[in-house]
Each structure stands twice: as C-alpha cells, then as structure tokens.
Amino acid sequence: MGKNIVVGQSGGPTAVINSSVAGVYAQAKKLGIDKVYGMIHGIEGFLDDRICDLDDYLASPEGIEMLKRTPSAFLGSCRFKMPKIEGNEEIYDKIFEVMEKHDIDYLFYCGGNDSMDTVKMLSDYAAAHGKKQRFVGVPKTVDNDLPITDHCPGYGSAAKYIATSLKEVIRDNSSFGVKKPTVCIVEIMGRNAGWLTAAAALAKSGDCEGPDAIYLPERVFDIDKFVNKIEELSKTKSSIVIAVSEGVKISDGRYVCEIGREVAVDAFGHKQMSGTAAKLADIVAERTGLKTRAIEFSTLQRSATHIASLTDINEAFQVGAAAVKAADEGKTAMMITLDRNGDDPYQCGTSAHDIHDIANVERKVPDEWITEDGCGLTDEFEAYARPLIMGELTPLFANGVPVHLVRK
C-alpha cells in the first residue's frame, strides 16, 4: 500500500460507525501502513487540513475495544455537500493538496447516500486529472437505504434499540388496564424509507404482542383510516401502541409533520423531520376523546451503543477492513457491500461494488414485505431483519455508567 491513509465519517452517526474506523485502522496496520489519519469532522474538516493521528488512540488493543463501545462519530461528522466538479475545481484541488501534503494515497469515507456521492465525485475528479489516489466508501446508515448491499452497518443496532424500547413501551402502556384505552404513538426515524419503523415488528415475541399497527413512508398515509383503526382497536383493547415513521405522507404529498406548519431544510435540501407522532396524537385525541401520548425516539435510536447488536459491530468492523483490502488490491471508486450467504446459520461476506451504481440511489422496503392493509410487516421481513440484531457487546463501566473513547 501507499505510505499513509485517511478515514472520515459523515452524516448522521450510528452506534457502530466507530467500529468501521477501528476496522480500517486495524487492517491498515496489518498491511504495514505508516500513518492512519482521521478527518476531524469529515470532508469539511479535511478541506481545512484538520486531521489526527489514530495511533494516539488506537495503538493498543484496548483502544480499539473501547472505540467499538463508543457511540456517535469519534472523529466528528459533517453534513457538507460537495459541489459539482465543473466550476468548483478549486475545492477538489484543495482536497488533493491536503492528501499530497501528508503523503496520503487512500481515502476511506464512512457514510450513507450523500457520503457515497462524495466518494464518487472525488474518484471521478482523480480519474479525469490523472491522480493516483484511491477512494473507497464504507457503508453506514441506520436508514438501511443504500442499494446493492444486503444491509447497512448501523441498521442492526438501531433496529435492536427500536424493538427493545417498543417492548418496554408496550409493557408500560398496558400497566393500568383501565376501561378507557390509552393510545401511545411512537415516532421512528425514516424520511422516505421505512426500514427503521419496520423494525418495530421485531418487538413481537412469545412475551410481547408487538405494536398494534406499523406505518411506513412506502405507503400513502390516510389519516381517516388511521383514526378509524384506533377507534376499532379501542373497542377491545385498553392499551394501543402504534409505530409510525416520521416521514409518512398524506395523499397530497405533504409529510404529516408539515400539516399546519413550516419545516426547516438542511444543507442537502432535506426537510427536517420531527413532530409526526405529536401531530397524530393531537388528531386522535380531538376526534376520539381517547387519552393519547406521543413518544419520539429521535437520536436515541442511532446512539444507543449500550444495546448495540454484536452482529452489527462485527460487520461494521468487517466492512472497514474490507475497504482497506480493496484499496490495497488497486480498487477505487468502490463501496464495500455486505453479501448474505446464508440464513441457517446466518452468514455474510463482503465485496466491492462500483460507487456509480450506489451514490444517490435510495432503497426502500420491498412492497411485498408490507402487509396488504399497509399496517404491518410480513414474516419475510422478520427473516431478513432478525439476524441483524443478534448478540451483545457488554459496555465497560465506571461509576455506574459506560465509558467512551473521546478524541482530545
């Protein structure tokens, strides 16, 4: 391999994105790389030559194990949109200047759809200008919406948190058994793809009936039918728990959370999702008179490393290591994919796929995995998702709370 490499993190953090950094580091050192640098706050920080030497944190096995148990983005993330190459060459020239200044031959970027677009554009610029540097994407997103790969690191742990928390909410909501039902509406992340909300189905087990209904953004949301379903459930149940995606839309194309108010837009033009459950709880209370409450899992579902899936942790490490191997083999403009090889027992390998087939493509929950009434998931979805939430990695505790590795 080349002398030095750099790894960055971008977009919303996950419970296991740091495991991918650990995988990149460990494999690079195994191949004899001198310096493994980390971008401070992704490509945005890299443009300002903000990097750190990961030897300062990960030179010992204890450092790597601690990083696996640390939530959020250890290196710092960003939501920086790379501009089109044409007319903005100076920005791309700056990135290559920083790479050349530190003798960096390979760049690895951990992220989702927008991050893979960054890998694509850097690769395209290098190819067009005869640059030797190589670029490989490391998949990361709790939304599980990257194409080609069977699933995305980060999803399994978020799904485990959602299933676990919903079981607890269901138990809590059913505590009183009063004649007048209590309706609890739980809002789960997911703008256009409902993978996270679908994970609510995993709460169902021998000791839990699961949520009474699950609504994904893949289907048009009908408020009248939603209220009618709750009224029907209230005739036989004292506890009603509904899981709903933050991104559900009504027939005119508006998000439910947009009804009656304006929503902010981020750097990528994405509307900021929040308030769907609260809006629906107000509607249900007004139309039915039932007691309602809204719960928004928000960032908890992507930061809960204390209940991360061991399968997810291991696969996040695996794709980081595989990215380094791919670059060492001469590959560039690629993203590492997870390839399921079996379900009994569950097995998953990796391969490298052309980034141009992945960047800016969003994969949604297959329609055949959503029940006919649009309010639940099929057994096929559970067979797909259940293996991804298996196993645990016990946190390291001090003074009664988990210990994390923190960048200085």
67 has a pLDDT exceeding 90: yes
- Per-residue confidence (pLDDT) for residue 1, from 0 to 100: 61
329-343 burial, b for 16+ CB within 10 Å, e for fewer?
Answer: eebbbbbbbbeeeee
326 has a pLDDT exceeding 90: yes
- Per-residue confidence (pLDDT) for residue 330, from 0 to 100: 96
- Per-residue confidence (pLDDT) for residue 255, from 0 to 100: 94
Could you say which of 105, 143, 145, 212 is catalytic? Answer: 143
Q: Three-state DSSP class for 15?
A: coil
The proportion of the chain whose per-residue pLDDT surpasses 90, expressed as a percent, equals 92
Q: Give how far the C-alpha of residue 86 lies from the chain's centroid of Cα atoms, to the nearest Å.
A: 31
- Per-residue confidence (pLDDT) for residue 2, from 0 to 100: 62
Q: Are 396 and 70 in contact (CB under 8 A)?
A: no
Tell me the C-alpha distance between 335 and 311, whole Å: 20
13-42 mean pLDDT: 97
181-194 mean pLDDT: 95
Residue recorded with tokens 């690895």: 108
- Per-residue confidence (pLDDT) for residue 338, from 0 to 100: 98
Dihedral Cα 332, 336, 342, 343, nearest 10 deg:
-170
Q: Three-state DSSP class for 110?
A: strand
- Per-residue confidence (pLDDT) for residue 303, from 0 to 100: 93
Q: Please report, for residues 10, 58, 145, 221, 342, the alpha-carbon distance to residue 53 in angstroms, rounded to integers and kept in the order given.
A: 18, 9, 32, 49, 38
Q: Report the half-sphere exposure of 69 (CA within 13 A, side-chain side).
A: 18
65 has a pLDDT exceeding 70: yes
Q: Please report, for residues 193, 231, 236, the alpha-carbon distance to residue 224 in angstroms, rounded to integers and kept in the order given.
A: 23, 11, 20
Confidence category of residue 404, pLDDT binned at 50, 70, 90: very high
Pick the closest to residue 63 from 404, 408, 298 (CA basis).
404
Tell me the C-alpha distance between 90 and 125, whole Å: 11
More confident residue, 203 or 179: 203
93-106 mean pLDDT: 98
- Per-residue confidence (pLDDT) for residue 355, from 0 to 100: 98
304-321 mean pLDDT: 98
- CATH superfamily, with its number, for domain 158-302: Phosphofructokinase domain (3.40.50.460)
Asked if omega into 153 is within 30° of 0 (cis), the reply is: no
For residue 315, give both structure tokens.
């696969």
42-59 mean pLDDT: 98
152-158 mean pLDDT: 98
Domains 4-153+305-361+390-402 and 158-302 share a fold: yes
Mean pLDDT of the chain: 95
- Per-residue confidence (pLDDT) for residue 344, from 0 to 100: 87
Q: Report the half-sphere exposure of 3 (CA within 13 A, side-chain side).
A: 7
Tell me the C-alpha distance between 172 and 239, whole Å: 9
The proportion of the chain whose per-residue pLDDT surpasses 70, expressed as a percent, equals 97
- Per-residue confidence (pLDDT) for residue 127, from 0 to 100: 97
Dihedral Cα 156, 321, 407, 115, nearest 10 deg:
-70
Pick the closest to residue 177 from 226, 240, 230 (CA basis).
240
For residue 275, give both structure tokens.
């308030």
- Per-residue confidence (pLDDT) for residue 313, from 0 to 100: 98
Residue 370 is given by DSSP the state B
Q: Is 357 a catalytic residue?
A: no
- Per-residue confidence (pLDDT) for residue 176, from 0 to 100: 83
Class of domain 4-153+305-361+390-402: alpha beta
- Per-residue confidence (pLDDT) for residue 112, from 0 to 100: 95
| Domain regions of the chain by residue span | 4-153+305-361+390-402, 158-302
178 has a pLDDT exceeding 90: no
198-227 mean pLDDT: 97
- Per-residue confidence (pLDDT) for residue 266, from 0 to 100: 60
Tell me the C-alpha distance between 3 and 344, whole Å: 42
Q: What are phi and psi of 205, to 5 degrees?
A: -160, -175
pLDDT in tens, 242-279: 999 999 999 999 999 988 776 666 655 666 677 999 99
Tell me the C-alpha distance between 34 and 143, whole Å: 35
357-381 mean pLDDT: 97
Residue type, 101: K
Confidence category of residue 105, pLDDT binned at 50, 70, 90: very high
Pick the closest to residue 101 from 27, 31, 48 (CA basis).
48
Confidence category of residue 179, pLDDT binned at 50, 70, 90: confident
- Per-residue confidence (pLDDT) for residue 180, from 0 to 100: 80
217 has a pLDDT exceeding 60: yes
pLDDT in tens, 343-358: 889 999 999 999 999 9
